Amino acid sequence: MHEQYRRLRQWQLPGFAWVLLAVCVLSVHAILPAWILADKPTLLAPVHTVLVVLHTLDALFVWACVIWLSPLLERRYPQDLAPRMVVGLLAVLFGVVLIIIAVYLYLFPAVTGRPVQLASQYMDAYRALMVSIFIYGWLLMRDYANAQAARALSLQVRTDALATDVDRSELAMLEALIEPHFLFNTLAHVKRLYRTDDAAADDVLKNLIAYFERALPALRKADWSVGDEIDLVVLYLNLIEQRCGGRLRYNVSVSPPSTTCQLPALTIATLVENAVRHGVGPKPGSGMILIAVTLSERELSIVVSDDGVGLRLSSGNGLGLATVRARLRGTFGADASLLVAPGASGGVCATIRIAIGSGHA
């Protein structure tokens, strides 16, 4: 609403200037022939005074319609020009006709001292009516074009900002995929295993290759599903479990209907990686990560919780969570949310909720 009235304030004075210009043009057009043809022309004869008053009242009525009627119609039909044009023109037509009738029935006899002759005043009334309709329609289309241009510019700005957020999110995701500590620690673990257990080292290396083969193309896939994400997360957790021995335990619970739901790639993986690095990792002793994905009639729910050091002692800077929020917002808008809170028994619980039917969910 504020945007509508801001636009009106920007061009209400130019609109008023246009209707006054129409008054001058119509008045001169009606009066000039009489001045030219009259033997003794008067500056403003009574009949001409009536015409000037008529044109001025018509112009003020049209301007009032632009100022007060147009915002009401825009709120009622925000995207449709046709109904706004039809309703507005009908209002102008009805109002101008009433003004013409009132002027010629009451003002004309009072000023000229004689009753009006409709045949002689027909063209003046017709011109006033047509010009009023034309000016209102032109001002309405001008306002509509300006509003559409402003909306297009605003949409372009939001699109550019969203594209920048997506680019940053994808870069952050790729950094998380090949995070140096994870990669180097895993390779160092493989190197140590080859000294003692070739079979175990081969198994870890095979899992690492499978993880990157699935993870690297993830951001380029348009049909990434919950099932794909869970497969990737399990590969990641297996690698961490193999590297950390018995320190890490995890449990994954996924309802079968939810596996076909689509969501941005690496969404769950980022939450799990955050739980490993900032929750279970700094905790002395063993840690547990729980992943639960459920699908109801209304929403898809994804919960990643850990029993780590908790929010207060976590050293995470929030970049991963901000990335997840940005990608959820870019895909689902306001229909998706990420809530991070302390867990019921310690640690951190991250919950994603996505309304069913929004975006790709």
65-74, 81-90, 329-338: least confidently modelled range = 65-74
Per residue, the 3-state secondary structure of 182-215, as one string, reads HHHHHHHHHHHHHHHCHHHHHHHHHHHHHHHHHH
Model confidence at 281: pLDDT above 50: yes
Going from N- to C-terminal start, the domains of the chain cover 2-160, 178-355
Residue type, 141: M
CB 92 within 8 A of CB 67: no
Which residue has better confidence, 358 or 202?
A: 202
* Strands of the sheet with 336-342, listed across from one edge: 248-254, 287-295, 299-306, 348-355, 336-342
pLDDT above 60 for 202: yes
Q: What is the pLDDT of residue 316?
A: 45
In whole angstroms, give the CA distance from residue 257 to residue 299: 12
Confidence of residue 83 (pLDDT cuts 50, 70, 90): confident
Q: How far apart are CA 68 and CA 73, in angstroms?
A: 9
pLDDT at 167: 57
CA dihedral (26, 28, 30, 33) positive or negative: negative
Condensed to tens digits (0 to 9), the pLDDT of residues 33-72 reads 655 555 555 556 677 777 778 778 877 787 778 777 877 8
The CATH code that applies to domain 178-355 is: 3.30.565.10
What percent of the chain has a predicted confidence (pLDDT) above 70? 75
Mean pLDDT (the chain, rounded) = 77
Q: For residues 207 and 234, is the Cβ–Cβ distance under 8 A?
A: no
pLDDT digits (tens, 9 = 90+) for 104-119: 888 878 877 777 766 6
CB proximity list for 223: less than 8 A, separation 6 or greater: 262
Residue 315 has what pLDDT? 46
Q: Tokens 């037509």 map to which residue?
A: 93
Q: Is the pLDDT of residue 349 over 70?
A: yes
**Cα(311)–Cα(278) distance, integer angstroms:** 9
Mean pLDDT value across residues 308-325: 69
pLDDT digits (tens, 9 = 90+) for 17-40: 666 666 666 666 566 665 555 555
Q: Which H helix or E strand runs over 74?
A: helix 70-76
pLDDT value, residue 300: 95
- Strand-strand pairing, 287-295 and 248-254: parallel
How big is the chain, counted in residues? 361
Split at pLDDT 50, 70, 90, the class of 344 is confident
The percentage of the chain sitting over the pLDDT mark of 90, rounded to a whole number, equals 16
In which band, very low, low, confident or very high, does the pLDDT at 141 lie, cut at 50, 70 and 90? confident
| Most confidently modeled range among 69-73, 94-98, 123-127, 297-301 | 297-301
Nearest to 347 by CA among 233, 249, 246: 249
DSSP 256: G
